Structure 1
Amino acid sequence: MDAGAVAVLAGCAAFGGLLAVLAGAYGLRQARRVQRTGVRVEALVKRRPGSAPDEPAHPRPLLQFATEDDRVLEVVCPVAPSRRRPLNDGDHILVRYDTDDPRTVVVDNLERRGLERAFITAGALVMLLSLAMVAFAVATR
């Protein structure tokens, strides 16, 4: 493969890595902001409409809560249930919502920070790999 083709491939890989880093950083920033400035309320976990009681629950249930101005909202839970936190129908959990956009919620103690950090790490590794590809192409030229 000639150096020009390697440079194009490395550029595309670096761009993808940069997008992954930015997506992870944005997700962490949003979660921290809502956790710091959001309003804490209790939400009711609800089964998705149309699912039968004997069916397994949808991976992301609905959360119903009332805002400070007494609007009742239903939003899709931003995190999937786990063994540690099953999120069964009828459970009550604590969430924080953004006052500017109440549909942006963070479930207390389930912020998905690991996923965001994985995006940042994977993106940085792809960017380093693309730099190594260019360095190798230039060195073997």
Structure 2
Amino acid sequence: MILLAACIAMGGLVALIAGAYGLQRTRRLRTAANVAEALVKPPQQGSARPLLQFETGDGRVVEVASPVPASRRRPLPPGGVVSVAYDVDDPRETVVLGAERPGVDRAFMIAGAVLVVVGMVLAVALSGP
């Protein structure tokens, strides 16, 4: 049973870290990155995400898979234009402005923290006298 408690706590820790990383990445790209207008292209065969094509500040044309899935409630329309924030050092790191999902990242953090606490409580309760 202690193994079950440890697995619950570790799963929670993974969710907590994933949520924190997502929030940190989005904040970093929104504040320290460059902004460009990107053309939304249809997804490649076998992919569910559309492609975004934009020009960086130094004139390079970059094409990346969208961080926003096509199955989203408001999918990116092919042929449309969206604003993206991209990392200057690695333009493949992008965030579609207005399509960020900090609520999902926060939910991962909260659920992860709850699971860590539940796992710890179970471990203490099961290892009692």
Q: Normalising by the residue count of structure 1, what TM-score does the alignment of the two structures yield?
A: 0.82
Deviations 1:2-59 (A, max 9, x none): xxxx2222122212211111111011101100000110100000002348xxxxxx64
Mapped contact 1:79–1:112 kept (Cα < 8 A):
no
Identity across the alignment (%): 45
Q: Say what the alpha-carbon RMSD is for the aligned residues.
A: 1.8
1:46-85 to 2 correspondence within 5 Å? 46-50=41-45, 59-81=48-70, 82-83=72-73, 85=74
Structure 1 counterpart of 2:5: 10
Structure 2 counterpart of 1:96: 85
Structure 2's unaligned 5+ residue stretches are none
**Residue 128 of structure 2 corresponds to residue 128 of structure 1:** no
Q: CA–CA distance in 2 between the matches of 1:131 and 1:15?
A: 10
Q: CA–CA distance in 2 between the matches of 1:137 and 1:105?
A: 45
For residue 89 of structure 2, give the secondary structure of its aligned residue in structure 1.
coil
Mapped contact 2:56–2:62 kept (Cα < 8 A):
yes
Q: CA–CA distance in 2 between the matches of 1:50 and 1:17?
A: 35
Letter matched to residue 94 of structure 2 = V
Higher gyration radius (CA) = 1
Distance change (3 Å), C-alpha of 1:7 and 1:49? closer
Structure 1's unaligned 5+ residue stretches are 1-5, 52-57
Q: Normalising by the residue count of structure 2, what TM-score does the alignment of the two structures yield?
A: 0.89
For residue 86 of structure 1, give the secondary structure of its aligned residue in structure 2.
coil
Structure 2 counterpart of 1:26: 21
Paired residues, number:
128
Letter matched to residue 63 of structure 2 = E
4+ long deviations beyond 4 Å:
none
Q: CA–CA distance in 2 between the matches of 1:50 and 1:27?
A: 27
Letter matched to residue 118 of structure 2 = L
Within the candidate set 33, 42, 53, 2:37 is matched to 42
Q: CA–CA distance in 2 between the matches of 1:69 and 1:62?
A: 20
For residue 41 of structure 1, give the secondary structure of its aligned residue in structure 2.
strand
